[in-house]
Amino acid sequence: MAIPEEVFFATVTELSQRLRDKEFTAVELTRAFCDRMEKLGPRYNALALLLREEALRKAREADDEIRRGRLRGVLQGIPFGAKDLLCVRGKPTTWGARPYAGQVFDYDATVLRKLDRARAVLVAKLAMVELAGAGGYRYASASLTGPGLNPWDRTRWSGGSSSGSGAAVAAGLVPFALASETWGSILTPSAYCGVTGLRPTYGLVSRYGAMPLSWTMDKIGPMCRSAEDCGHVLRAISGGDSNDPSSSGKSFYYAPQFARKFSDLRIGYAPVDIEEWAEESARPAFRQALEVLRSLGVKLVEVELPDLPYGLVAGTIISAEGSAVFEPLIRSGKVEELADQKQIAGLKAGLEIAAKDYFKAMRIRRVVMEEMRKLFTQVDVLVSPSRFGPATRISEPLDRPARPKPEPKRRGLRDLGAAGNLAGLPALSLPCGFAENLPVAIQLVGRPFNENNLLALGKAFQDQTDWHRRRPPVGA
């Protein structure tokens, strides 16, 4: 049967109900998404590997269980994609980089095994920036599959390093995708592509079977159509794992109905984020997003991050750990096969970081964690733009000067991305409007393991708005 166009942009919960209502089967749904991925995935440089045969086999199993009344939850029979740093048994896992193009593992990543247990259907591995950006990179083209192209405007970037995951969800190629974040790789493509992305608390989701970039900062999370969908996916992929030494051993149960009353919540924000740090074209959308949050009954409180070198600390840790991870690649000389010269140089330079500098960064990181803990005694959630403006142009170097004019005197929450990742805090990116005809988004950041409050707020925000329902224009 022909699957209607709107199905490709439906939420997971909507698709689950339609499967149970027998509007279509899991096989029909999976075949339709595979066809769409095969046709449009290359248009956005989003597809790393199509898994049609395996997906249809899993979909048939899901259909059989649904027919027999063996219902396993909302993800049963739902297609999805996974960033190509997650290994799939017997299939290439390229990490987005030429030196690893033929790499094959003989086991599945833990998160993929958990989604298989929930009977979700993996249809594709999705493109990414090479080595998830280890060493730093200058151009969006730093990928085996080429630059991630934004479905809203293909002259713009879909964001890194989870470029394929963001583009695939935005373009309706999959209902949801798994991505990873070390310093912005879930929130950035979510914001640029107009989808909802969740960075879980460090240690809540196993990283076994995922390419390491920074052992002490890597996190795996979902990119979906809605906050509610993120909750369902997080429930499936969370939990302890003895194969991951960083695992917290905690599980997550999606229960927004038991989150704190909004009237009891204090949300910290910094006016300077919107009025000065944000690009002028995006300010109206961010102002309106704050008003929507205020209308939910929360109390907005002005806050500011303490004066600490967040970016320098995060950069030092990621550089030192990333170069240690890829030392064999660097020493072998195969690092020269990477697409981005800045990344090659950065990986080499990371090996020269002195132990004293790494440990100094880790000591300052502990101060950051303590300062964030203190900040969360004053507020329950922090809100700030996920990115201060819309997606950058593909042709623009990513290390270009950010502002042509003097920076604002107040820090606000502009370093929330670095601070939140250093402290391992959960964050939810929510589409909140448009600037220059491109999506922009806000991020909600909470205390560790406080995802239910973020998701409840996110769902309420999306009940009041329709930004997450918007689709890229046909032919963009």
> Distance (Å, rounded) from C-alpha 261 to C-alpha 279?
33
pLDDT given for residue 214 in this prediction? 98
Q: State yes or no: pLDDT of 404 exceeds 90.
A: no
| Amino acid in position 290 | L
Mean pLDDT value across residues 412-428:
98
Q: What is the mean pLDDT of the chain?
A: 97
Question: Where does the pLDDT of residue 259 fall: very low under 50, low under 70, confident under 90, or very high at 90 and above?
Answer: confident
Mean pLDDT value across residues 94-119:
98
pLDDT given for residue 249 in this prediction? 96
Phi, psi angles (nearest 5°) of residue 284: -60, -40
What global pTM score does this model have?
0.98
Question: Where does the pLDDT of residue 315 fall: very low under 50, low under 70, confident under 90, or very high at 90 and above?
Answer: very high
> Distance (Å, rounded) from C-alpha 470 to C-alpha 17?
21
User: Exposed (0-12), middle (13-18) or buried (19+): which is 328, by Cβ within 10 Å?
Assistant: exposed
Q: State yes or no: pLDDT of 402 exceeds 90.
A: no
**Start-to-end C-alpha separation, the chain:** 27
Contacts of residue 106, defined as CB under 8 A and 6 or more positions apart, other chains included, come to 89, 90
Helix (H) or strand (E) holding 321, with range, is helix 310-325
> Distance (Å, rounded) from C-alpha 14 to C-alpha 10?
6
Number of C-beta neighbours around residue 239 at 10 A = 18
DSSP 237-302: HBS--TT-TT---------GGGSPPGGG-EEEE-HHIIIIIS-GGGHHHHHHHHHHHHHTTPEEEE
Dump pLDDT digits (tens) for 175-223: 999 999 999 999 999 999 999 999 999 999 999 999 999 999 999 999 9
Angle at which helices 283-295 and 451-464 pack, to 10 degrees?
110
Question: Where does the pLDDT of residue 1 fall: very low under 50, low under 70, confident under 90, or very high at 90 and above?
Answer: confident
Q: State yes or no: pLDDT of 419 exceeds 70.
A: yes
Helix (H) or strand (E) holding 224, with range, is strand 219-224
3-state DSSP: the chain helix, strand, coil percent, rounded to 5? 45, 15, 40
> Dihedral of CA 217/222/226/231: which sign?
negative
Number of C-beta neighbours around residue 92 at 10 A = 17
Q: How far is CA 474 from CA 69, 172, 321, 431, in A?
A: 38, 12, 42, 19
Q: State yes or no: pLDDT of 367 exceeds 70.
A: yes
pLDDT given for residue 340 in this prediction? 97
Mean pLDDT value across residues 162-183:
98
Number of C-beta neighbours around residue 242 at 10 A = 9
Tell me what percent of the residues of the chain surpass a pLDDT of 70.
99
Sheet hosting strand 299-302, strand order edge to edge:
47-50, 121-126, 79-83, 177-181, 219-224, 196-199, 427-435, 438-446, 381-385, 266-269, 299-302
- Domain spans in the chain, listed from the N-terminal domain onward: 1-476
Question: Where does the pLDDT of residue 376 fall: very low under 50, low under 70, confident under 90, or very high at 90 and above?
Answer: very high
More confident residue, 31 or 399: 31
pLDDT given for residue 258 in this prediction? 85
Contacts of residue 333, defined as CB under 8 A and 6 or more positions apart, other chains included, come to none
Active site members = 83, 161, 185
The three-state secondary structure class of 100 is helix
Q: Which of 256-260, 292-296, 361-365 has the lowest mean pLDDT?
A: 256-260
Pair 440, 389: CB distance under 8 Å: yes
CATH number (3.40.50.150, 3.90.1300.10, 3.90.190.20, 3.20.20.60) of 1-476 reads 3.90.1300.10
